[in-house]
């Protein structure tokens, strides 16, 4: 099923503290908070503060931002006490992305995924 993008970038509202979230990690460039509808014991969303809609917005000049996503995932997983974990990213509407803002799902191993 193709999901539709929400018209509002909710994650920008979280970054700007306009709506609440359970924020677990934040730097000048990144924010991480618990998913409101967790699919695993640990389910955290890692979001760059730079306003990129999808991972297709990756370019030569922002490659490091995407590397930083993986670095933050490692740091947050360590904070959460999970050794192994799963990283998932939906890309664009037809890829299942709903929130129009790049984000990486960090999930504990109990996440049911048959890759
Ligand atoms: P995606 O399908 O990759 O766009 O995933 C969007 C995720 O955002 C879903 O797992 C939702 O449960 C989660 N979500 C939506 N609204 C909020 C919110 N206000 N706070 C935290 N997570 C949210």
56-104 pLDDT, tens digit per residue, is 999 999 999 999 999 999 999 999 999 999 999 999 999 999 999 999 9
Answer yes or no: 105 catalytic.
no
Name the catalytic one among 43, 59, 103, 105.
103
Q: Is the dihedral of CA 20, 23, 26, 30 positive or negative?
A: negative
Overall pTM surpassing 0.85 (yes/no): yes
91 lines ligand 1 (CB under 6 A): no
Task: Report the alpha-carbon angle 44-49-55, nearest 5.
Answer: 75
- Which of 2, 39, 45, 69 for mutating ligand 1's site (highest number of atoms within 8 Å of CB)? 45
Query: Is the pLDDT reported for residue 4 higher than 90?
Result: no
35 lines ligand 1 (CB under 6 A): yes
């Amino acid at each position: 099923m193709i999901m539709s993008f929400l018209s509002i970038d909710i994650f920008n509202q979280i970054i700007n503290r306009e709506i609440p979230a359970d924020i677990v990690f934040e730097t000048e460039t990144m924010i991480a908070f618990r998913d409101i509808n967790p699919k695993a014991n640990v389910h955290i969303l890692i979001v760059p503060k730079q306003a990129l809609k999808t991972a297709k917005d990756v370019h030569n000049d922002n490659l490091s931002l995407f590397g930083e996503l993986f670095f933050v995932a490692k740091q947050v997983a360590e904070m959460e006490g999970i050794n192994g974990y799963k990283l998932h990213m939906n890309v664009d509407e037809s890829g299942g992305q709903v929130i129009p803002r790049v984000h990486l799902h960090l999930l504990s191993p109990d996440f049911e995924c048959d890759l």
